[in-house]
Structure 1
Amino acid sequence: MIMSDQKNIMKRPRTLTRIAAVQAIFQWEQGIEKAANLLIEQFLIHRISPDFHDETYIDGKTHIPNIPLFTSVVQGFVHRSPEIDTIIKSSLPNEWPFQRLDPIIRAILRAAVTELLLDNIEPPKKVIINEYIDVSHAFSNGDESVLINGILNNLANRLRKEMENKA
């Protein structure tokens, strides 16, 4: 990611929160901590800075301005991980098996799908998708963002149709 993009993300509190959620879910997959409450507690104690610094991560810590969103996404994923992984698998192109995805891409998709499934009215699903596409730029500089965009748009359309059928 180029420096100007990095500075823009640093000014967007929800984006910073989503980046932290992706990092926590990545950490979960690595088997470092599987219990949601312990993962969140560890992240808040060891990875979160109480102070916001405009351009740097101090001592490897970041600032999470929206702890409730962070907690909802991480807890939501850990508690519903088999369901969320099934949703992601069903949205992948046939030539892309789930395990072939890079672990950070899996973490981005897991966080995004979890947030899309939350019962929040705000923000709109399109905003959530755009946010996670921006988050993907923080971790990659290739075609991964295109893949993430396609999967999340496909999923959002499916979820919208399911909601309309329930109504």
Structure 2
Amino acid sequence: MPNTSADDRRALRRRMKSAARLYAVQALFQMEAMAQTLDAVRVEFEDHRFGMVTDEGAFSEGDVDLFRALLEAAVAEQTRIDQLTDRALVAKWPLGRIDPTLRAVFRAAGGELLVTQTPPKVVINEFVEVARAFFPEGKEAGFVNAVLDHMAREARPEAF
């Protein structure tokens, strides 16, 4: 990154991490919807989605390491993440009744909470923004905020 300031480099890294989170949600959704394996989806995203240019514009480059970590954690820790999510939901709305995109958001965020040192408030804020990307007109972002706050407090109480 010649001729870029430290602030520019930090901003680029933040954008790449944000893109990786969005891609992880899309990949987890695709895995569930199309019964695809982790490896197949990972390869597809890394080879064809990161930085892809379409008629509508260019996709962002993503932080490949974070993308992989989120996918691997979401798969490896899915039972634990789903239990955290279920405890954060009201009894009438078990995880199975939640929109599949929101399930993917909770699983990706849960994976980041469980296997990274990212501050929980950062994880929550980032995935609220991901929810807004998928549901720009709805109340889902507030719902995601509440569920992730509950999950984070249970998974990483020392951070609060």
- Alignment root-mean-square deviation, CA: 2.2
Instruction: Could you tell me which runs of 5 or more consecutive residues in structure 2 were left unpaired when the two chains were aligned.
Output: 1-13
In structure 2, the partner of 1:39 is 41
2:146 equivalent to 1:143? no
Query: Any conservation in 2 of the 1:76–1:114 contact (CA below 8 Å)?
Result: yes
Trace 1:117-128 onto structure 2 (pairs within 5 A).
Answer: 117-118=114-115, 120-121=116-117, 123-128=118-123
Instruction: Could you tell me which runs of 5 or more consecutive residues in structure 1 were left unpaired when the two chains were aligned.
Output: 1-10
Query: Any conservation in 2 of the 1:37–1:75 contact (CA below 8 Å)?
Result: no
Report percent identity of matched pairs. Answer: 32
How many residues get paired? 144
Per the normalisation by structure 1, the TM-score is: 0.77
- Offset at residue 48 of structure 1 (A): 2.3
Q: Which letter does structure 1 place at the counterpart of 2:77?
A: R
Query: Any conservation in 2 of the 1:24–1:43 contact (CA below 8 Å)?
Result: yes
Deviations 1:120-143 (A, max 9, x none): 32x311011000001100000211
Trace 1:32-111 onto structure 2 (pairs within 5 A).
Answer: 32-34=35-37, 36-49=38-51, 57-58=57-58, 62-111=59-108
Q: Residues 19, 57 of structure 1: CA spacing in aligned structure 2 closer, same or farther, 3 A cutoff?
A: farther
Query: Any conservation in 1 of the 2:29–2:101 contact (CA below 8 Å)?
Result: yes
Structure 2: how far apart are the matches of 1:144 and 1:95? 17
Per the normalisation by structure 2, the TM-score is: 0.80
- Offset at residue 50 of structure 1 (A): 6.2
Structure 1: how far apart are the matches of 2:154 and 2:145? 14
In structure 2, the partner of 1:19 is 22
Q: Residues 76, 64 of structure 1: CA spacing in aligned structure 2 closer, same or farther, 3 A cutoff?
A: farther
